[in-house]
Amino acid sequence: MRQLILFLAKYRSTLLLIVFVLIALLRHSLKNPAAEHRLNNMGFGAVAGIHDGLSSWKQYWRLEAINEELARENARLRSGGTRASVNHFSNSTDYDFIPARIVDYSYTKRNNYIIVHAGRRDGIRPGMGAMTANGWIGSVVEVSNAYAHITPILHSKGNIGARISEKGLGELHWDGTDPSWATLFDIQRENRPMPGDSVYSFTRTSVGPSTLTGTVISAVQNNEDLTWTAKVALSADFKNMNWLYISKLKDVESLDSLQIPAL
């Protein structure tokens, strides 16, 4: 016993360091899965509140960009209700679109995040989709009473299914470099993606409607299985975001009742 106490006393600082490193490693590894862990979200509401306080100050520097974005969105809405000019998702009547102000976001990291000022009290739940007027953003992973944490496409676990009209499904993946483009994998070999093709998000119905995500810039064919890999310019501007919409399926109960597992 005496030996043990002496040992602990002698190496107390090293032991403290080991404990701290282990806690940090645990927290870090729990952050890796797409589903967030409770441990990382202790105090999320408080942190988001501080972000909110700072954002009112930071937003001042972005007023010009906000103004331009709103003017452009307004012009697009005024120019008429044709499918080509108005963004797609607002035509969907199966969803409510909850507007949410962005409190804090990042685009320079490998794993980016967005925090919005709309939470459980506004009817937001984990798993809902998020989009701006320009395109698909990501999905909600964590909700506090007043705030929500969104994992955008710009995340190592942010891959989504994506579809080119009449050319089939693929998987959209961001490779961690430039926030303005991503890569679309696994388009069938007979459907060559052409530059200018629109890419739409393709998620479960409960997440969100199929939404414009980007346009194809170029495509190369894989030598082994002859599938196409396309470089896609993301239509949402991840560097400049101020408001986004969160899609909420209206009739979620009837969908849930269909998903009861077979006995």
Partner 1 sequence: MTIVKNIFWLVLVLLVQWGFLQDLPLTVYGNPYLYLWFFLWLPFGVTRMGLYAIAFAVGTIMDAFEQSGGAHTLACLALVTAKPWVENALIGYRKSDDSEGVSHLALAPYLTTSSVLVLLHHSILFTAENYGFDNLVLLAVRIIVSSLITLVLLAITHALFSKKYAA
Q: Could you say which of 82, 93, 108, 257 contacts partner 1 (CB under 8 A)?
A: 108
Tokens found for residue 56: 């009112």
Q: Could you say which of 6, 7, 8, 21 contacts partner 1 (CB under 8 A)?
A: 21
Phi/psi-derived region of residue 127, left when phi > 0, alpha when psi is between -120 and 50, beta in every other case? left
Q: Could you say which of 8, 26, 63, 169 contacts partner 1 (CB under 8 A)?
A: 26
CA–CA gap between residue 252 and residue 127 (Å, rounded) = 12
Q: How far is the CB of 6 from partner 1 (least distance, A)?
A: 17
Nearer to partner 1, 124 or 249 (CB): 124
Contact letters (x/-) for partner 1, 165-204, by CB under 8 A? ----------xxxxx-------------------------
Q: Could you say which of 2, 4, 5, 13 contacts partner 1 (CB under 8 A)?
A: 13
Nearer to partner 1, 40 or 90 (CB): 40
Length, in residues, of the chain: 263
| Whether the Cβ atoms of residue 211 and residue 201 lie closer than 8 Å to each other | yes
Binding status of residue 101 toward partner 1 by CB under 8 A: no
Question: What is the per-residue DSSP string for 94-121?
Answer: SEEEEEEEEEEE--SSSS--EEEE--GG
Tokens found for residue 104: 């804090």
Stretch that binds partner 1, among 29-37, 73-81, 194-202, 207-215 (CB under 8 A): 29-37
- Non-local (6+) Cβ contacts of 206 within 8 A are 127, 128, 249, 252, 255
| Whether the Cβ atoms of residue 187 and residue 168 lie closer than 8 Å to each other | yes
Binding site for partner 1 (CB under 8 A): 12-13, 16-17, 20-21, 23-32, 40, 43, 47, 50-51, 54, 57-58, 104-111, 113, 115, 149, 156, 175-179, 239
